[in-house]
Amino acid sequence: VSKPRSTLSDIAGTLGVSVAAVSNALSGKGRISDDLALRIRAVARDLGYVPSVAGRALRTGRSGVLGLVLADLAHPLFPQIARAIEQAASERGYGVLIGNAGGDVRAQAGAIARLIERGADGVIVVPMHGTRVGRLGHPVAVIDSPSTPGNTVASDHFDAGRHIGRHMGQLGHRRLALIGAHADSVVQNDRIAGIRAGLGAGARTQVIWIAEVEQGRGPGAALGLADLAAAGVTGFMGLSDLNALRALSELQRAGLRVPQDASVTGFDDLLWSRDLSPALTTMRMDAAAIAAIAVDRLVQQIDQIDQTADAGALPPPGMPPAMPHGVAVPMRLIVRHSSGPAPDPAPPPALRPDLSQSDRTEGTQIHA
Amino acid sequence: VSKPRSTLSDIAGTLGVSVAAVSNALSGKGRISDDLALRIRAVARDLGYVPSVAGRALRTGRSGVLGLVLADLAHPLFPQIARAIEQAASERGYGVLIGNAGGDVRAQAGAIARLIERGADGVIVVPMHGTRVGRLGHPVAVIDSPSTPGNTVASDHFDAGRHIGRHMGQLGHRRLALIGAHADSVVQNDRIAGIRAGLGAGARTQVIWIAEVEQGRGPGAALGLADLAAAGVTGFMGLSDLNALRALSELQRAGLRVPQDASVTGFDDLLWSRDLSPALTTMRMDAAAIAAIAVDRLVQQIDQIDQTADAGALPPPGMPPAMPHGVAVPMRLIVRHSSGPAPDPAPPPALRPDLSQSDRTEGTQIHA
DNA sequence: CTGAAAGCGCTTACAG
DNA sequence: CTGAAAGCGCTTACAG
């Protein structure tokens, strides 16, 4: 059985002071003598005082809770993202309420609305497949979708592609297959463009979309990777670890040795990537940085609402309205055993363009 | 910019009635004429009225929010569980606040306490490795841990082991390796016992704990499965899909064909299990049933608190206190291509005990 | 520097 | 059947 929580007036009562004094002492806002503040805080500690979120929320109009909406809770990156968001939010004093759009793009708006109705001060959305998140009249931050102009945070997928592409190029691979899920994935197409830039001019790539193969030959159909290997392809680059897993599995099943006969790489560093044999070379997102940026922007929007409300809904004169732009956060290359030298390394081309400087950077670059 | 939400007194004002009448009409609790109730509800709809959770929470002492604490948000089953919990909770009018213990067993209690302080009416805990969740003085439900006597819901891991063991036995496997993570995992040991029961008397099994192999030979060390296959083992049963993936990968890397040379099975039906080549035979948890039971029990406890509070903290005379016992929910066998007939099927033993009736059932059995 | 008071939106006895 | 009132715990002008 739980003992009832103590309140401000409990503290005020034991000290014979007003609740206003207690509130001020605990929040450090109103003017109060150091002596009294100290005594109040001591009593609060003794009584195990915990502020009532309900009372505070009713009075301030803010719940101290952020919503987290995912198009599908079964998304493989969800654990990484949820953990980072929870961490970033709790560091800023916010709780995280989860919502699920059940994989349905149309249900996404409903999920956001439900969280707002539940009292969330703002919502972080991780949409799938570049769904747009329209203006909602509420603070929103979007993760990993380049579709919304403002308040978007994403991994820099082009840059990530370039890094792992360069890695494969340096290992000597000149003929490569890029294996992705859907041709309409913005993320995967960004990665493809980056990979090609990283490989440089001497390499030939071809793209295999699993959805298209399966549409023709049924779910679980072979992607024909062994044939490609026989025809001289030495690098198999999954556009996510899921796709890399499928490639690795199919190649090994066909009797090819990885990395001696062919190299395999992925993206995202999913939980099991290191458990594969050989362990998978991949790119890891900086979930902590992305979450911190998303939460900061959300909190900033929330605080701004209060200010504009105070200022009579008018923006300060002469000051342009906050127009945040998208942020791209670099991913990190994780080299593991699945990528080795190319079986038949071709000589490096005489002239290789230096791509170490960014040649396609939209928005701010964050460097770890 | 968001327009301010309408309140009960807005509705009362437009109709010229009292807020009490509006509250009663909307909740359907107090006596009110059908005519007035209808008019009130119509106005509420027109004004887009959404009750204020803060106001309600402050008045009732209940937030309408449940906490979900996971020992580690990176747990591979987290997506399945979180989705099911969110679904079950929202069907019952509750939101879900997430907490993370960061993989630290000691941080678990802290995470629970933080959610309670944030106002959660109760907490669902998914502990790792059979952590105990002590009495907290707050409603708690525990998922997938048999350690707490009451309010525990888990998959029936023994029963699940028996099912997949029987499957392998029927395919003709007589020598099998069971591959697990840690020797101290209650879940995995339950599965082992079930597998042995399902295989019957004619089979020989040996257990390989990955943690022990790696302690001796370093992380990512080979488990020596190819040697076992050469020595006559035909069935490789991972005690989770993660372990099965490792086994499959190692066997294929060594040149064995699955399922022609050896069969591989797992547990948990993780997201990518069907993407393996061959797709993985495994057992799937009934996350929806488990979540529904856990949430129902939690809500029951929450409601009980209110009742005992009303009744002066005394249990109704003559009625024993609610003493719930653990519930075991069956898992479902998913047969995919990775399990085939044994390479050299031994003749079935003359006498095989019928295990179709449960011989080890603690707690209630739920049948789908 | 400190106190008394109002009010956020709701629900629930209590009168009429 | 309906209304007036109290109060959940908090913060914030406003007086003193």
pLDDT of residue B188: 93
pLDDT of residue A70: 86
Q: Which helix (H) or strand (E) holds B65?
A: strand B65-70
C-beta of residue B191 within 8 angstroms of C-beta of residue B161: yes
pLDDT of residue A321: 44
B125: three-class secondary structure by DSSP: strand
Of the two residues B319 and A101, the one the predictor is more confident about is A101
The structure tokens 């790489």 sit at: A265
Looking at the complex, report in whole angstroms how far the Cα of residue B61 sits from the nearest Cα belonging to chain A.
8
Find all residues with CB under 8 Å of B15, minimum gap 6, and list them.
Answer: B22, B39, B40, B43
Nearest nucleotide (C1') to the CA of residue A8?
A: D9
Find all residues with CB under 8 Å of B164, minimum gap 6, and list them.
Answer: B195, B198, B237, B265, B267, B281, B282, B283, B333
Q: What is the mean pLDDT of chain B?
A: 84
Q: In this predicted structure, which of A251-255, B60-64, B320-324 has the lowest mean pLDDT? A: B320-324
**Cα–Cα distances in Å, from A129 out to A105, A164, A307, A361, B343?**
9, 22, 35, 21, 44
Q: What is the mean pLDDT of chain A?
A: 84
**Cα–Cα distances in Å, from A334 out to A279, A302, A338, A363?**
10, 37, 11, 25
Query: CA-nearest residue of chain A to B74?
Result: A79
Choose the closest CB to B86 out of A3, A98, A276.
A98
CB contact under 8 A, A252 and B249: yes
With bands split at pLDDT 50, 70 and 90, how would you rate the model's confidence at B367? very low
DSSP annotation of A281 reads: B
Asked if pLDDT for residue B41 goes beyond 60, the answer is yes
Q: In this predicted structure, which of A188-197, B164-173, B337-346 has the lowest mean pLDDT? A: B337-346
Query: CA-nearest residue of chain A to B99?
Result: A86
In this structure, the strands spanning A235-238 and A204-209 are: unpaired
Residue B264 phi/psi, 5-degree rounding, is -130, 135
Nearest to A118 by CA among B93, B47, B121: B93
Q: Read off the pLDDT of each residue in A2-14 and give the average, rounded to a whole number.
A: 83
CB contact under 8 A, B277 and A249: yes
Tens-place pLDDT, residues A52-78: 999 999 999 999 999 999 887 777 788
> Measured on CA atoms in the order B296, B297, B298, B302, is the torsion positive or negative?
positive
pLDDT of residue A72: 77
Q: Which of A3, A5, A73, A179 to mutate against chain B (most B CBs within 10 Å)?
A: A73
Tens-place pLDDT, residues B300-332: 989 887 666 545 444 444 444 444 567 899 999
CB contact under 8 A, B80 and A90: no
The structure tokens 């490792």 sit at: B246
Q: Read off the pLDDT of each residue in B209-216 and give the average, rounded to a whole number.
A: 93
Read out DSSP for B309-348?
Answer: HHTTT-PPTTSPPP----EEE--EEE--TT----SSPPPP
Q: Count other Cβ atoms within 10 Å, centred on residue A69.
A: 28
Is any Cβ of chain A less than 8 angstroms from the Cβ of B9? no
> What is the C-alpha to C-alpha distance for residues A173 and A259, in angstroms, rounded to an integer?
12
CB pairs under 8 A between A and B: 166
Residue A66 phi/psi, 5-degree rounding, is -110, 140
pLDDT of residue B221: 83
Looking at the complex, report in whole angstroms how far the Cα of residue B280 sits from the nearest Cα belonging to chain A.
11
The gap between A315 CA and D15 C1' (Å) is 33
Q: Which nucleotides of D are covered by protein (CB under 7 A)?
A: 1-5, 7-14
With bands split at pLDDT 50, 70 and 90, how would you rate the model's confidence at B225? very high
Q: Tell me the Ramachandran region of residue A103: left when phi exceeds 0, alpha when psi lies from -120 to 50, beta otherwise.
A: left
pLDDT of residue B18: 85
pLDDT of residue A136: 65
Tens-place pLDDT, residues B127-154: 866 566 666 678 999 887 665 556 689 8
> What is the C-alpha to C-alpha distance for residues A15 and B128, in angstroms, rounded to an integer?
45
Q: What percent of chain A has pLDDT over 70?
A: 82
pLDDT of residue A307: 64
Find all residues with CB under 8 Å of B197, minimum gap 6, and list them.
Answer: B158, B161, B162, B165, B355, B359, B360
Looking at the complex, report in whole angstroms how far the Cα of residue A273 sits from the nearest Cα belonging to chain B.
10
Find all residues with CB under 8 Å of B165, minimum gap 6, and list them.
Answer: B194, B195, B196, B197, B198, B199, B237
Asked if pLDDT for residue A278 goes beyond 80, the answer is yes
Nearest nucleotide (C1') to the CA of residue A33?
A: C1
Is any Cβ of chain A less than 8 angstroms from the Cβ of B53? yes
List chain B residues with CB under 8 Å of A111: none
> What is the C-alpha to C-alpha distance for residues A350 and B48, in angstroms, rounded to an integer?
69
Q: How far apart are the first and last CA of chain A?
A: 48
Looking at the complex, report in whole angstroms how far the Cα of residue A187 sits from the nearest Cα belonging to chain B.
19
Tens-place pLDDT, residues B1-27: 456 788 998 998 888 888 888 999 998
pLDDT of residue B35: 86
Please list, residue by residue across B273-297, b when 16 or more beta carbons sit within 10 angstroms of its beta carbon and e when fewer do. Answer: bbbbbbbbbbbbbbbbbbbbbbbeb
Asked if pLDDT for residue A163 goes beyond 80, the answer is yes
pLDDT of residue B271: 85
CB contact under 8 A, A253 and B257: yes
A149: three-class secondary structure by DSSP: coil
Choose the closest CB to A98 out of B75, B96, B222.
B96
Query: CA-nearest residue of chain A to B249?
Result: A277
DSSP annotation of A158 reads: H
The structure tokens 């206190």 sit at: B321
Question: Can you give the C-alpha Rg of chain B in angstroms?
Answer: 26
Helix axis angle, A157-170 to A186-199, nearest 10°: 40
Alpha helices, DSSP H, located in B68-137: 78-91, 105-117
Structure tokens at B183: 């020797």
Asked if pLDDT for residue A364 goes beyond 70, the answer is no
Structure tokens at A311: 């200022």
Nearest to A32 by CA among A48, A15, A47, A14: A15
A84: three-class secondary structure by DSSP: helix
Tens-place pLDDT, residues B94-125: 999 999 877 777 788 888 989 999 999 999 99
Find all residues with CB under 8 Å of A344, minimum gap 6, and list them.
Answer: A172, A234
pLDDT of residue B186: 86
List chain B residues with CB under 8 Å of A137: 1-3
Q: Which helix (H) or strand (E) holds A360?
A: none
Structure tokens at B157: 């891991």
Asked if pLDDT for residue A293 goes beyond 50, the answer is yes
Choose the closest CB to B245 out of A58, A97, A272.
A272
CA neighbours closer than 13 Å in the CB half-sphere of residue A221? 14
Looking at the complex, report in whole angstroms how far the Cα of residue A353 sits from the nearest Cα belonging to chain B.
37
Residue B121 phi/psi, 5-degree rounding, is -75, -25
Q: Count other Cβ atoms within 10 Å, centred on residue B357.
A: 6
Residues at the strand D interface (Cβ < 7 Å): A 4-5, 7-9, 19-20, 23-24, 26-27, 29-30, 49, 51-52, 54-56, 58-60; B 16-21, 24, 30-33, 35-36, 58-59, 61
Choose the closest CB to A73 out of B57, B58, B82.
B82
Of the two residues A318 and B169, the one the predictor is more confident about is B169
pLDDT of residue B356: 41
CB contact under 8 A, A275 and B65: no
Looking at the complex, report in whole angstroms how far the Cα of residue B256 sits from the nearest Cα belonging to chain A.
8
Q: Read off the pLDDT of each residue in A151-167 and give the average, rounded to a whole number.
A: 93
Tens-place pLDDT, residues A170-219: 999 999 999 999 998 888 999 999 999 999 999 999 999 999 999 998 87
Restricting to A residues 198-227, those with a Cβ less than 8 Å away from any Cβ of B are 220, 222
Nearest to A165 by CA among B204, B277, A173: A173
Is any Cβ of chain A less than 8 angstroms from the Cβ of B252? yes
**Cα–Cα distances in Å, from B244 out to A154, A277, B89, B173, B338?**
33, 12, 33, 17, 10
DSSP annotation of A316 reads: P
Choose the closest CB to A96 out of B97, B274, B275.
B97
Asked if pLDDT for residue A258 goes beyond 60, the answer is yes
pTM for this one?
Answer: 0.84
Is any Cβ of chain B less than 8 angstroms from the Cβ of A48? no
pLDDT of residue A320: 42
CB contact under 8 A, A96 and B95: no
Strand partners, B206: B177
